[in-house]
Amino acid sequence: MGLSSAAAIASEAIQLCIFDLRRGQHEGQELDKILFFFPAGLPFSKQLSVIGLSEGLITFTRIFSPEAACEVIEAERHRHVFYESEPDVWMVMVVEKSNDSEAIWRDDALRKVLKEVHSLFVMFHGSIRALLEKEPGGELARRHLYSFIMDYLRDFLVGKKLLLPSFRDCLKERGTVQMLTIGREAAIEVQSLVRMLESCAGNSSCYSLILFQDLLVSTTLSPDDTINLFTYAVLRLTPHALSSGVSSWSYLRKGNTGSNFATESILAHSRSVSDSFYGSSDTSPDGDTHHHVVRPLQHDKWSKGKDGYLVTDIWGAEVGNWAYATPTVWLQQTQEKMYLCAYQHRNLTLILLVPVSIILNGEQGVSVVKQQVLENASLKILKVEEKLSKGWGGENAYHVSGYRYLLVDGDRNVSRASPAGKVATLNKDSLLSMSKVREEVDLEKNRAKRDGSGCERDLEFCIRAKNNAWVIARVTRGKELYMVLEKANETLLYASDAVEKFSNRYCNGAFSLD
């Protein structure tokens, strides 16, 4: 379990810290503000210097822009990406600029990682601020953050390195959901099932999420909660996540998740350093619930039970009961604590959220609801699964030959992209250009947001890249389309025709305004 030399190498490249500006404002108490630091083995002096720089810049930039302070620092050898996850609680990711040609990042993509891990954390543990208020010493928050983020980062481990989303992922969008396209008839069946599910708890304050494979079919949650639960489901709950044992980001990421076990030790920190600071992350249920840290992102913890429900011991087992405790999550929109019941039938995953407040007798009540679902909805579940399987076009269903694209609907937080396998065939130069273009679009979008005119502007980029490629970006009223056309004709007319065709065929003409 020791600190390996590899850890040191890996830790050079990427640093991630979380700190609270409201803490440790007096000299000698600086350590207090650190809530999380990766790599944990880094000496506190170095940790403090990273945080000190960040804090200084935030304070400085706030003078000019109180609402949105610093977003990124571009230094000679490092890039600092900032994200204010909660008021005064900042997350900073430091990535090293190296000669490695793979180490080219898009700030927004990195920020989305920070945003994602924070949202997931809040969903399971509540806000960091709340944890700090609960236990002002900060140990509780640190312990939770440490185990949670370390579990999360493990997903990015490839070989000996943490592979953060780089330019190669420019045709993907984190923080969006991928939807399954279904016909009207199937949609009605699904809705009928949704209503049935939510009526099972006898109360309308239930919510549900239905996934087919790693794609969303239906949700009744608010957009933000949908993203969080969808993300978690794809990470840990869907058949693919269950079977692979190791999580992959999504089916798109398949192939990258090879030999993770050998390298897990990279993330293992030196206990001698951090145990005192972060507390024990040991999850052995020793009965002392105060020290028990729930680790929802722990690997290989979910499995499918005999009754079709997914079970895990992450949340511990109830004393005197063989059954595992039902997971609970916090909804962002309603600030309600919900029981999470996940049911799986072949490729269909159903997530039912039942308010803790309406279940009077705890686990017993939850199992009654589960039973109700089985009794009332089994038939519908079978039917829906069958119907969706029939219409399912496979992993390459959304491939459009000749195009490599990413389609983002910012209003609904939905994205669709060419399959990863197809994107991988693109030339590196094309991907780099696309990454650049996206960076430009991000900039424009942020600028428009700051203007706050409420009017969404249309944008259009069309770049002739190396290897006869067209790199195109189009933004229209909240919808974004990015595409790369390789080996394409050199006229601009060709490029715009290609967009027009694609738009008419697959986007209901949303991008063909002229």
Residues that bind other proteins (CB under 8 A): 182-185, 187-189, 191-192, 195-196, 198-199, 204, 218-223, 226, 376, 411-412, 455, 458, 477-478, 508-510, 513-514
User: CB of 464: closest distance to other proteins in angstroms?
Assistant: 24
User: CB of 449: closest distance to other proteins in angstroms?
Assistant: 14
User: CB of 416: closest distance to other proteins in angstroms?
Assistant: 12
Q: Decide whether 219 or 332 has the Cβ nearer to other proteins.
A: 219
The distance of Cα 472 from the centroid of its chain, to the nearest Å, equals 26
CB 339 within 8 A of CB 328: yes
> What are the backbone angles phi and psi of residue 338, rounded to the nearest 5°?
-125, 145
What radius of gyration do the chain's Cα atoms show?
24
Cβ count within 10 A of residue 17: 22
CB 479 within 8 A of CB 507: yes
Q: Decide whether 145 or 481 has the Cβ nearer to other proteins.
A: 481
User: CB of 503: closest distance to other proteins in angstroms?
Assistant: 12
User: CB of 194: closest distance to other proteins in angstroms?
Assistant: 8
User: CB of 201: closest distance to other proteins in angstroms?
Assistant: 13
Q: Decide whether 295 or 370 has the Cβ nearer to other proteins.
A: 370
- Find all residues with CB under 8 Å of 123, minimum gap 6, and list them: 225, 228, 229, 232, 329, 330, 331, 332
Q: Decide whether 89 or 194 has the Cβ nearer to other proteins.
A: 194
Q: Decide whether 195 or 301 has the Cβ nearer to other proteins.
A: 195
Q: What is the DSSP string of 438-458?
A: HHHHHHHHHHHHHHT-SPPPP
Q: Decide whether 314 or 498 has the Cβ nearer to other proteins.
A: 498
User: CB of 229: closest distance to other proteins in angstroms?
Assistant: 12
Coil/strand/helix, residue 58: helix
- In this structure, the chain runs to a length of 514
Nearest Cα to 94, choosing from 103, 296, 195?
A: 103
- Partners of residue 37 on adjacent β-strands: 17
- Find all residues with CB under 8 Å of 323, minimum gap 6, and list them: 317, 363, 367
Peptide bond before residue 39 is cis, with ω within 30 degrees of 0: yes
User: CB of 443: closest distance to other proteins in angstroms?
Assistant: 21
Q: Is the dihedral of CA 497, 501, 504, 509 positive or negative?
A: negative
CB 316 within 8 A of CB 178: no
In the block, which residue shows the tokens 């009754």?
307
- Cα dihedral 502→503→504→507 (10° resolution): 110
User: CB of 338: closest distance to other proteins in angstroms?
Assistant: 16
Q: Decide whether 230 or 315 has the Cβ nearer to other proteins.
A: 230
User: CB of 346: closest distance to other proteins in angstroms?
Assistant: 21
Q: Decide whether 222 or 367 has the Cβ nearer to other proteins.
A: 222
- Cα dihedral 49→51→52→56 (10° resolution): 140
User: CB of 104: closest distance to other proteins in angstroms?
Assistant: 34
Q: Decide whether 56 or 183 has the Cβ nearer to other proteins.
A: 183
In the block, which residue shows the tokens 């440790």?
24
In the block, which residue shows the tokens 């109360």?
203
CB 156 within 8 A of CB 114: no
Residue type for 296, please?
P
Q: Decide whether 101 or 453 has the Cβ nearer to other proteins.
A: 453
Q: Which parts of 268-358 fold into alpha helices (H)?
A: 271-278
Q: Decide whether 285 or 478 has the Cβ nearer to other proteins.
A: 478
User: CB of 371: closest distance to other proteins in angstroms?
Assistant: 16
In the block, which residue shows the tokens 């609970």?
328
Q: Decide whether 223 or 362 has the Cβ nearer to other proteins.
A: 223
